Amino acid sequence: AAAAVDTADALDADHDVFIAQVHALNIARVLVRDTVLADAVAPFVAPLLCAGIDLFAAAYFPVRNAAVLLLSSVQQRVFGNKRLRDEHAQANGLSWHAFFQQHASVLPFACRVLDHAAAQPHCTPAEQQRVFPLLLFLSRLQHTHNSSQPRANATTSEHDHQQQILASKMQPSLGSSIYFVRNIAARAFTAFSNVEDSAAAMQRLAAQIAAVAQRAQSNGQWPRQNDLHGLLLHALYTFRAAGTDASTSSDIHLSRALLLIAGPTNACFVTRFAAVQILLLRAQTLKAEAPESQELFGATLTLMNATDENPQSPYQPLYRQGLSQVLAALLPFHFNAERVLPVLCTAISSPAVHYEARQPLIEALHNSRLFPALVQASAGKFRLVETLLQQTHHLCLSAAMRATSTLPQDLVDFHQLHACGQVALRELQRKYGAHVTRPAALQLLGWVVSAQHRNEGLEQEQQQQEQQ
C-alpha cells in the first residue's frame, strides 16, 4: 500500500511538471509571435528552438503539442512569412551563414541530435521524434555563397567547415527506416550542398546510382532499400535544384541505371517510383534530337508492358502514373506509330492509371505530330479515337474531345463525339446538380458545342453536294 501511495505521488508530481512545461511553452510562443518584442526575443531564439525540438520526445502529449506550436512560431520568426506556397523555395529560405552566425549554439545541439539518430538507425519512430523537426528546420536553410567573392578569410573557411560537419552528420539519416525522415533528410542534405559544386555533386550521384545498378545487374544483389531510396531522393532534389542543367549532368548511363532500378528486377516499388521521378525530370529536359530520348521512350514502353510480381503494393499506382508522365514528356517527339499504339491505348484506358496521369498523356498525344498517324494506324484493331472517348473522368474526356475535334473529318465520327459529350454532361449534372458551374464542365460543354457545330457544318456540306 505504501508503494502504491508513493507511485501515485510520483505520478502527480510528474503531471504537475508536465502542466508547468505546457504553460511555459505557450507563454514563450506568445512572446515569440509578438512583433513588438521581436528585438527583445531575438537572443532567445536559439534556446527556444532547441527546447522545442527536444520536447518533441516528451512522454506527455500536451507537452509535445505545445512544442509543435512553439517550433512553428520560432520558424516564422526566423524565416518570416511565406512568400511562395512552396516552403522550400529560395524566397522562403534563409542563408545558413547568416543563421549560424546569429545562433551559433544551434550547431552543437543539431550535431548531438543527429549523432543520436545515427547511433540508432533502426529504432522506432518514437525514438527519433526529434530528428524530423530538426531536419525540417535545416532544410529551409540555404547555401547562398557568391562565387565571385574571395573565400580566403577565416570566417568563410570556418562556416564552410561547419557546413561540412553538419552535412556529414545528416548523411546517415538518408538511410533511416522512417520514410518521412529520409525524405526531409534528402532535402536538408541537398540544401547544404554548395551551389558552385552542383555539377560535381550531380556527377558523383550519377556514378553512385550507376554503381548500384551495375552490382544488381551482375550478381542480383540490391543494397538496403532504405539506403537506395535516400540516395535516389538526394539525387532527385539535387537534379531538381539544378533545373535545366540536370540534362547535361550525366550521360545515357544514368538513364540506363535508373531504368534498371525502375524495372521488375527490383521488388521495392518505393525505390522504383523514386527512379521514375528522376527519369521524368530528365525526360522533361531532353531535346528531341538527343539519342537518349529514343532509348528512354522504348524502355519506358517495355516497363509499361511488364507484369508486376507484387500488384498489391500501394506504390504501384504511383509508379504507373510516373511511367505515363515519362511517356507524355517524350511523346511530342516523332516515334514509330506501330510500336507506340498498343501501350498508349493500354495506358489511356487502364483503370490503374490515375486521371492526373492520363490527362497529360492525352494532351501530349494531341500536341504530337504523331497523332494523325496513330489514329490512322489504329483504325483496325486498337481504335484510338474510341479509346479516347471512353474516358470516365470529365477532365480526361474534355482533353480527349479537344484532341479528336481537331482531326480531319475522315478520321473521326463527329456524331459519336457529340453524343459522347452529351452523355458526359448528363453524368456531371447528375453528380454535381442541375447547375453545373465547374470550369472543367464548362470546358467540356464548349467542346460539345464545337463538335455539334462541326457536325452541323458537315451535314450542310453533304446536303449541298447532294443537291449539286
Q: DSSP letter for 302, please.
A: H
Q: Which of 135, 136, 180 is nearest to 270 (CA)?
A: 180
What is the rounded CA–CA span in Å between residue 420 and residue 7? 73
pLDDT of residue 8: 45
What is the rounded CA–CA span in Å between residue 433 and residue 299? 45
The answer on pLDDT for 176 being more than 80 is yes
What is the rounded CA–CA span in Å between residue 4 and residue 310? 53
The answer on pLDDT for 229 being more than 90 is yes
Tell me the pLDDT band of 71, cut-offs 50, 70 and 90.
very high
Comparing 4-13, 24-33, 277-286, 346-355, the range with the smallest average pLDDT is 4-13
**Phi and psi, residue 346, nearest 5°:** -65, -40
Comparing 67-76, 266-275, 408-417, the range with the smallest average pLDDT is 408-417
The answer on pLDDT for 373 being more than 50 is yes
Q: Which of 378, 379, 311 is nearest to 350 (CA)?
A: 311
Q: Once rounded to an integer, what is the mean pLDDT over residues 355-372?
A: 74
- pLDDT tens sequence across 382-430: 577 777 777 777 677 777 777 777 777 666 665 666 666 666 666 666 6
Quick check: 404 and 385 in contact, CB under 8 A? yes
What is the rounded CA–CA span in Å between residue 461 and residue 465? 6
What is the rounded CA–CA span in Å between residue 67 and residue 22? 8
What is the rounded CA–CA span in Å between residue 231 and residue 209? 8
- The count of C-alpha atoms lying within 13 angstroms of the C-alpha of 128, restricted to the half-sphere facing its C-beta, is 24
The residue whose grid cell reads 540555404 is 142
Q: Once rounded to an integer, what is the mean pLDDT over residues 143-165?
A: 58
What is the rounded CA–CA span in Å between residue 242 and residue 239? 5
The mean of the pLDDT values for the chain is: 75
Comparing 107-111, 127-131, 197-201, 283-287, the range with the smallest average pLDDT is 197-201
What is the rounded CA–CA span in Å between residue 14 and residue 11? 5
Q: Which of 52, 194, 67, 175 is nearest to 109 (CA)?
A: 52
Comparing 58-67, 267-276, 417-426, the range with the smallest average pLDDT is 417-426
Farthest-apart Cα atoms in the chain, separation: 113
Distances (CA, A) of 27 to 20, 47, 423: 11, 15, 60
The answer on pLDDT for 461 being more than 70 is no
The answer on pLDDT for 458 being more than 60 is no
- pLDDT tens sequence across 83-126: 666 666 666 667 777 888 888 888 889 888 888 877 776 666 65
**Phi and psi, residue 18, nearest 5°:** -65, -40
pLDDT of residue 416: 62
